[in-house]
Amino acid sequence: MNTKIVLLFLFVFIFTISATSQISNDSTIVNIETVDGNEFMGEIVREDSLKIILKTEKLGEISIFKTDIKRLNTVEVLQIKDGKYWFPNPQSTRYFWSPNGYGLKKGEGYYQNIWVLWNQFAYGLSDNFSIGGGIIPIFLFSAPTPIFATAKFSIPVVEEKVNIAAGAIVGGIIGESKTGVGLLYGLATFGSHDANVTFGMGYGFAEGGWAHSPTININGMLRVSNRGYLINENYILSGDGETIILTSLGGRSIIKKVALDYGLVIPLSSDGVEFAIPWLGFTVPFGKTN
């Protein structure tokens, strides 16, 4: 019954993605952010060495001095819906924690924090390969401190429709031997950066031994507004004759260029739902960003 609930939820994602119409991409509209925090979207009518004349939908033509411009981005047609600018997803390569088939571009990076203690970063060495690492600094509480490294190779099979990826996460405890653990995984993502479903499988290892059963990963992401997403992340874990589904459901809000993630993590077993764990994290992009 629990598995059926997860699959039904993902079917909604798949249906939504398949129903999304394709829009041509030939716009010359720009989004301008000024040093005082205001944002304007429109078409550049003319410009000189001092200022830009921008034609906006609500304000008409306005003049913006170039010295007042903090950031200017070209906006694609797909980023405008109902007259609003749909901000790029600051964390389009991951769900709450699990990666998807999309990869960082060369020079792009992000820092992710989960519940203060989990600290992780990733950086694109090329358009198809990224590396990262992280630390859980519980040495602050006089406890053994875990560290980890990540690597991911991604391939776009069909642009904005099908992406595949493979990667690894390997970790250990600072100052302690024979504590190495990790996970090798492969996955496929169907859909765009804003609406997609990912199916993945991975094998874990610890102290030189491999898990007897794979971890199955099924996730979905759906954009619902210019600054908001719904996210569902699921892990199917099997071992010792028992299967447990670890599901999480929540959202992502874009605040400026920062992604704020929130939700609940719920273990599902044959005994049903006994408790839920709140999830809270944020991601800050750096390097070559939109």
pLDDT tens-digit series, residues 157-216? 998 899 999 999 999 998 787 778 999 999 999 999 989 999 999 999 987 788 889 999
Note the pLDDT tens digit of each residue in 217-254: 999 999 998 889 999 999 998 877 788 899 999 999 99
Answer yes or no: is pLDDT of 266 > 60: yes
Q: Structural domain boundaries of the chain?
A: 29-75, 90-287
DSSP state of 104: P
Q: What pLDDT score was predicted for residue 22? A: 41
pLDDT at residue 14 tops 70: no
The pLDDT of residue 209: 86
Which residues make Cβ contacts (< 8 Å) with residue 57, sequence separation at least 6? 41, 42, 83
| Beta bridge partner(s), residue 130 | 124, 152
pLDDT (0 to 100) of residue 79: 64
Gap between the Cα atoms of 137 and 147, Å rounded: 8
Confidence at residue 29, expressed as pLDDT on a 0 to 100 scale: 81
Percent of the chain with pLDDT over 70: 86
Indicate if the pLDDT at residue 21 is higher than 60.
no
Tell whether the model's pLDDT for residue 6 goes beyond 70: no
Residue 277 in this model has a pLDDT that exceeds 80 = yes
What local confidence, expressed as pLDDT, does residue 7 receive? 54
- Here the tokens at position 43 are 């078409």
pLDDT of 5 over the 60 cut:
no
**pLDDT value at position 289?**
57
Q: Is 198 exposed, middle or buried (0-12, 13-18, 19+ CB in 10 A)?
A: buried
Q: Would you say domain 90-287 falls under CATH 3.40.50.300?
A: no
pLDDT mean across residues, the chain: 85
Residue 26 pLDDT > 70: no
| SS3 of residue 115 by DSSP | coil
Question: Per residue in 112-146, pLDDT tens?
Answer: 999 999 999 999 999 999 999 999 998 888 888 99
The confidence score (pLDDT) of residue 71 equals 83
Angle, CA 179 vertex, CA 177 and CA 184 arms, to 5°: 130
Mean pLDDT of the 78-103 span: 83
The CATH code that applies to domain 29-75 is 2.30.30.100
- Assign 95 to helix, strand or coil: coil
- Report the C-alpha gap between 222 and 158 in whole angstroms: 19
Report residue 70: phi and psi, to 5°: -90, -40
